[in-house]
Amino acid sequence: MQIICQQDLLYEALSAVTHALTSKTPIPALECVHLMAKDRRLTLTCSDLHLTISCDVPAEIEDGEGGVLLPGRLFSEIIRKMPAGDVTLTINTNFVTRISSGDTRTTVSGQPPENFPAMPSLPDADHSASMSQTAFKSVVREVAFAAATDEVRPVLTGCLMRIQGGRLTVVALDTFRMALRRAALLSAKEDFEAIVPARYLSEITKILPDTDDEITLNFGGSYMMVDLGAVHIAVRLLDGQFIKYEQLIPTGGETRVRFDKGILSDCVERAALIAREGKGNLMRMEIASSQMVVTSNNEAGDVYERLDCEQYGKDITIAFNVRYLSDVLRNLNEDRLMMVFTSPVSPCVVVPEEGDQFLYLVLPVRVH
């Protein structure tokens, strides 16, 4: 069998589908890209059984139709380094595949396509919502970092996606911080919520171009499905009950501070240089008389910075693991913010000056 397609289109497809490749698997076939040639189209698919990405590429097919499994990373690198123009894949009966373009030729040993695990048939969408790709990427970037990375409580490795009243609310939390982001939807069938693995949401954003084109999120059975023209994505949802995050948000607020995000972010990053050399990664923040003093000290050294701020309410001294506050400031795309404090042992809340489009919660560290 022989397959001929354009090098740039083939590499673009591989760049998309290999986001679903995994190297930590007892199933060797999942380290491969599945190629299937049929009806003047080459379909490439990668999967780790939780995330499946496929992409169609126009192709000329000669000497029958069929498929092959090729090592995913290797095949992608070979195609990337091929000269521009037509690339020809010639697959023999032993699935040895010759990849050629002009005077360049590489041979790769493949596997029968039947070795690839059967993919589940995806149900029709019961719920759907659409928004701009730019807005979706922004929401995921500003929330997914706060999801847990260990599997002790699997549900916390996901983001709660709640569609309600024409808005999308996305929430992620671990045991130390929480991120919440709201965004307007272009359309939504009805209210709905699901828990989507955070790392797969991040992988999807890497595939999306930076455009205001519309993206539609379809939910059916235990999957979220996204169609991006030639690229098709299916993500298995997480089972379980998400934490009632509303109950974690403190009410009231004895102290409120308005500040310029860029100035505080630079200050926190400098404090982090010393803080991360200590055992607790600790940074102390003292707010009094409309000034914020940020300090960190340990056996490696110390840092001291004083910033002007707009203070409302009582003076307060509070300490944080500097990484959690730094993550918020680094991922948030906003110029002016407000921090709300209830007490030195209660969570700090970061919100916009106006509106409710985001909310971040960071637990303090008790110090004596």
pLDDT band (50, 70, 90) for residue 210: confident
DSSP-derived pairing of the beta strands 214-220 and 32-38: unpaired
C-alpha span between 57 and 19 (Å, rounded): 17
Burial call 36-61: b when 16+ CB within 10 Å, e when fewer: bbeeeebbbbbbbebbbbbbbbebeb
C-alpha span between 360 and 51 (Å, rounded): 28
Q: Which of 7-11, 24-28, 58-62, 70-74 has the lowest mean pLDDT?
A: 24-28
Interval 105-128 mean pLDDT: 91
pLDDT at 76 exceeding the cut of 90: yes
Can you list the domains of the chain with their CATH numbers?
2-115 (3.10.150.10), 127-246 (3.10.150.10), 249-362 (3.10.150.10)
Q: pLDDT value at position 108?
A: 97
- For residue 23, with 0-12 CB atoms within 10 Å meaning exposed, 13-18 middle and 19 or more buried, which class applies? exposed
List alpha helices for 244-363, DSSP H: 261-275, 322-331
Q: pLDDT value at position 278?
A: 77
Q: Which of 187-201, 270-284, 331-345 has the lowest mean pLDDT?
A: 270-284
How is the beta sheet containing 167-173 ordered, strand by strand? Answer: 192-197, 158-164, 167-173, 177-184, 358-362, 348-352, 336-341, 255-260, 310-313
pLDDT at 122 exceeding the cut of 90: no
Secondary structure element (H or E) that encloses residue 206, with its range: helix 198-207
Per the CB < 8 A criterion, the answer to whether 98 and 64 are in contact is: no
More confident residue, 51 or 209: 51
- Percent of the chain having pLDDT more than 70? 100
C-alpha span between 98 and 87 (Å, rounded): 10
- Percent of the chain having pLDDT more than 90? 82
40 φ/ψ angles, rounded to the nearest 5 degrees: 55, 35
Per the CB < 8 A criterion, the answer to whether 319 and 281 are in contact is: no
Interval 58-79 mean pLDDT: 95
Burial call 295-320: b when 16+ CB within 10 Å, e when fewer: bbbeeeeebebebebebeeeebebbb
pLDDT at 368 exceeding the cut of 70: no
Secondary structure element (H or E) that encloses residue 74, with its range: helix 72-80
